[in-house]
Structure 1
Amino acid sequence: MGEENDCVNKAADRTVEQWLSHAQEVVPLALDKARQVKGFPGRWKMIISRLEQVPTRLSDLSSHPCFSKNTLCKEQLQAVSKTLDEAIELADICIQEKYEGKLQMQSDLDSLLGKLDLNLRDCGLLIKTGVLGETTTTTTTCVSSNLSSASEDLPQINIKELLARLQIGHLEAKHKALDAIVEIMREDEKSVLSVLGRSNVAALVQLMTATSPRLREKTVAVICSLAESGCCEEWLVSEGVLPSLIRVIESGSLVGKEKATISLQRLSMSHEIARAIVGHGGVRPLIEICTTGDSVSQAAAACTLKNISVVPEVRQALAEEGIVRVMLDLLGSGMLLGSKEYAAECLQNLTASNETLRRSVIAEGGIRTLLAYLDGPLPQEPAMGALRNLVASVSMEFLDTLGFLPRLVHVLKSGSLGAQQAAASAICRVCDSPEVKKTVAEAGCIPLLIKMLEAKTSGAREVAAQALSSLMTLSHNRREVKNNKKSVPNLVQLLDPNPQNTAKKYAISCLLGLSASRKCKRLMVSHGAIGYLKKLA
């Protein structure tokens, strides 16, 4: 035991130059032994081919100006030396034919070949990544000696070296480096983002295919942070992160699925990436998360699908995967309010311009579900917007049976400004006959539309004026507008010639409808209508 410890200590005390010298001395011996082996000729031929490349890699590494100052160089030379020693040992066993079994030796030789390939690749990466010029032994002591305790020594860790370690070495070393990066990002995310390069992103994406579930989970957590930062979307996508994220959503752990879904949520804000998610088969797994995932994952999946539905050319593909039914179910029973709002936005997008999709939503009971959702205390725009898109595709009789007008009045009274605007737009779409216009007025919409003429946004004022203009073609409705004290003052204000005032033409139409009344004429004059009209002329 004492002798073993002495050997270990001596090896640890070697300088990087001594490790280089040792490796250079052992390569010819390993080659000589390998060429003497008669058995397993195919495998040994490949091993010899790799051994012959080692001197060049060692020469490239040792010629770097920072070679002697870098911990990674020393570690890499230790790994190469260990592999060379193993090659000599296996060659001796094969020469003497003392192996226990042929299959076991084949496995051992395959393992050796893999280690040689890893050594050659890692030597090349050390030069390629440029990390040798950026890290020195003085700044990386705690990384090389105890990566697992990184949380205790965060200030000492050289982040560029940690990122390089994601590309170099065996799986366990990468695991420890990733642990340290996760810990640093928890404390100071910007410190990692500021030095991140494309090769580091590529290494992270590569780790998402690791055999270790825990390693994949931690990698997805880092990817999620990168996606949410918005600093390297292009790198992530070009390095192939989308199919990897989709695979995690399909078969990863609960935490992995959550982080992968949140990553896609952020990335899908780009129309181009949204199309790519569809192209990689991401819709079905996202829909599955909407039906079976936890609350956070469900909301992230619904938001991702909402983002994708913004792109017109993929809406039919979404429908073919069953998105309409899923979004309606979410609207009725989603775990979080956010999930329901994302579902409403998705339905609004799907029904914006495609009559086939509108019919599909209607056939699935979409109008009833949307109306039920609008019963809430503060109706928002997406649900009312989706309903607005649908109302022209069904009869007013059908809408009446579902309680459409009471909900419309509720939205005009209590909804957000966007919801009120969508409700006024819905009135414009359904008022295609005197009977409907009379019913809408009797439901109490006119006073609410007159009040909406005072809205802060020009779009809301315009659509309110447009709805009133349509309703006022009926004499009974004109009388109701005339008798409202706020109607004339509000309409006159909409004659403002400012180009941003888009409600002018509808205001003029409404005022013309009231001009037969002397009382209304006097009110128009007293509120400055003549001055406005002169400017408009």
Structure 2
Amino acid sequence: MKLSENEADVIEASITELIQTLTNSITHTIISFKGKWTSIGSKLSDLKTLVSDLNNSPTTTLSVNLLRSVSQTLSESRDLSVLCRSANLPKLKTQNDVDSVSAKLDSLIKDLRVLTLTENSVRIDVSVSTGSVGVSSTEPVRIQTRNIIIGLQVGTTESRNSALEQLLMLLQGNDKHVLIAVAQGVVPVLVRLLDSTSAPQTKEKAVTAIARVSAVDSSKHVLHSEGLVLLHHLLRVLESGSGFAKEKACVVLLALSQTKENARAIGSRGGISSLLEICEAGTPNSQAIATGVLRNIADVVENRESFIEEDAISVLLTLASSGTVLGQEYSIACLSNLVRDDDNLKLLIARKGAIVSLRTFWDSASSGTSVGILEVAVEFLKTLASDERLVETIIVNDFIPRLINVLTCGVLGVRIQSAKAIYWLGCRAKGRKELGGNGCIPPLITMLEGKAVEEKEAASKALSILLVYSGNRRIYRKEQRGIVSAVQLLDPLIINLDKKYAVSMLMSLTCSKKCRKQIVNSGGLLFLQKLVEMDVEGAKKLQETIGPGKLWGVIARR
């Protein structure tokens, strides 16, 4: 329905008349609560100016509704002022009524200021954008967003909820609209709506809108800038919000907890307990997201004691076995972060069934379409394998063939974590023998020639420990490119690569004259001279060991 500008003019005229009547009453006839009425009178001048400014702006449903509210409140004030012309009236009730009218006027003045300032800003923006270069294709969305943001700040609870519904429709499915809304300043307004004074329905819609913003990577920095205020409100939602609101709060926390500062703050403010409650009683989707937040929080050392106090391990192990695929992945990752630097915790969760849960998840993920989710499983196995007390259990549960199987997969992260796990398993004599016998050496040699420096280093580190066992050295020597691939890693031009592992590998192979010759013929001495100058561990000893072989190799070729 199109609004009539005459309607706004009529309301303004009525407001002007009411202000004049009320001012006269306050000045000349009021007897009771004169101090309070004097304070109200001082607000009437501001109110009159703001109403006039608003009426000079384009007429909108919001502006007319606000003018109606002003008119209604002034009518109530006028009627109340008539009562206060007498000294004989119910004091307590009348005082409450006067205070209520004063508070309403304060709220209306605030709303009028917001609306007037924003309407003027929109007019300026439109004026600029409709110059000689034409109107931007996004300008209608920007104007609509501005109007919605105004609606979020003024009016009744019902009108704010209506504005929130409009905002959610605008943001749905279009990242460009999200970026426009963020640029227009919607985030601080939404954060204020999460305040404890807001209605539960308002909070639910506001946190849903914030969750939508958090899904767009280029907007996350605006959420981070809200700092502890936003975190505080979100944690309150976790404690007392609806199930839907809790899930959306978890979505936002998943994005925010990616920084150490926020993860630490969530853990120190009771967030772990609330998140674990969702993991136990929430919907499958909310359980998964809450576990993702816990994964990030567990990565901060200061938070880990709270996990133990809240008996988080039992909850996480349950989800690792029975949650959704995403929930299982996050649970495994959370457990891995939690026990990373604590051997006693590693042993504890192993006794509680972590290795069996890991094997179940591993096999399920391996049979799926994407082996990418195996990275967290392999990393967890690596973490457990770093405790030598668990190596035997890992071997008994057939993880060695599982590890070797993924060494050739197409996911770089999985290959790297697998090689790191093999290193830890290889630190035990039985592990070295089992790994070599199950065929891990050829794929590790292939990884030595990978493009990523981290892959080269992980493979060379694993092989350096495996070649301690003589049986593995025999296997290695049979591989055609074994020596060449290792020697290439000595090249000083390969930066950010710890070359001590390649040096250690080659040193293990120098017991064979044939290998010494191959190292020399592959350019090993040239590289080693530079590594000696760089003081690389073991380089000088390797140089001395194969030095005579250089001359032998030259004579042999002649």
User: TM-score, structure 1 length as denominator?
Assistant: 0.80
Gaps of 5+ in 2: 127-138, 533-558
Change (3 A) 1:536 1:518: same
Aligned mates of 1:380, 1:437 — CA distance in 2: 23
1:83 and 1:112 in contact (8 A); partners too: yes
Residue 392 of structure 1 corresponds to 386
Quick one: which amino acid aligns to residue 220 of structure 1?
V
Change (3 A) 1:428 1:29: same
Change (3 A) 1:416 1:494: same
After TM superposition, list the pairs within 5 Å mapping 1:113-132 onto structure 2: 113-123=102-112, 125=114, 130-132=117-119
Residue 458 of structure 2 corresponds to 463
2:22 and 2:77 in contact (8 A); partners too: no
Change (3 A) 1:417 1:33: same
Residue 237 of structure 1 corresponds to 227
2:148 and 2:166 in contact (8 A); partners too: yes
Measure how far apart 1:10 and its partner are: 12
After TM superposition, list the pairs within 5 Å mapping 1:131-150 onto structure 2: 131-135=118-122
Aligned mates of 2:38, 2:263 — CA distance in 1: 45
1:264 and 1:304 in contact (8 A); partners too: yes
The correspondence for 1:220, drawn from 207, 211, 216, is 207
The correspondence for 2:346, drawn from 358, 362, 366, is 358
Change (3 A) 1:435 1:122: closer
2:22 and 2:78 in contact (8 A); partners too: no
2:15 and 2:74 in contact (8 A); partners too: no
Residue 373 of structure 1 corresponds to 361
Measure how far apart 1:262 and its partner are: 0.9
Quick one: which amino acid aligns to residue 326 of structure 2?
G
Correspondence 1:278 to 2:278: no
Aligned mates of 1:242, 1:105 — CA distance in 2: 41
Q: What SS does the aligned partner of 1:230 have?
A: helix
Aligned mates of 1:356, 1:33 — CA distance in 2: 82
After TM superposition, list the pairs within 5 Å mapping 1:84-163 onto structure 2: 84-92=74-82, 111-123=100-112, 125=114, 130-135=117-122, 158-163=144-149
Quick one: which amino acid aligns to residue 279 of structure 1?
S
Quick one: which amino acid aligns to residue 338 of structure 1?
L
Measure how far apart 1:181 and its partner are: 2.6
Aligned mates of 1:501, 1:79 — CA distance in 2: 68
Percent of counterpart pairs with the same letter? 31
Change (3 A) 1:398 1:269: closer
The correspondence for 1:474, drawn from 460, 469, 475, is 469
Measure how far apart 1:218 and its partner are: 1.8
Question: What count of residue pairs does the alignment treat as equivalent?
Answer: 503
Quick one: which amino acid aligns to residue 189 of structure 1?
V
Residue 301 of structure 2 corresponds to 312
Residue 449 of structure 1 corresponds to 444
Change (3 A) 1:168 1:346: same
2:384 and 2:390 in contact (8 A); partners too: no
Q: What SS does the aligned partner of 1:340 have?
A: helix
2:12 and 2:52 in contact (8 A); partners too: no
Deviations 1:413-464 (A, max 9, x none): 5584333333332333344454443333333333333333233322222232
Correspondence 1:253 to 2:242: yes
Aligned mates of 1:419, 1:156 — CA distance in 2: 44
Measure how far apart 1:504 and its partner are: 3.1
Quick one: which amino acid aligns to residue 349 of structure 1?
N
Aligned mates of 2:274, 2:199 — CA distance in 1: 22
2:207 and 2:245 in contact (8 A); partners too: yes
User: TM-score, structure 2 length as denominator?
Assistant: 0.77
Aligned mates of 2:223, 2:204 — CA distance in 1: 20
Deviations 1:322-351 (A, max 9, x none): 33233322222221x332222222222222
Residue 3 of structure 1 corresponds to none
| Alpha-carbon RMSD | 3.8
Correspondence 1:331 to 2:326: no
Correspondence 1:177 to 2:163: yes
Quick one: which amino acid aligns to residue 304 of structure 1?
V
Residue 539 of structure 2 corresponds to none
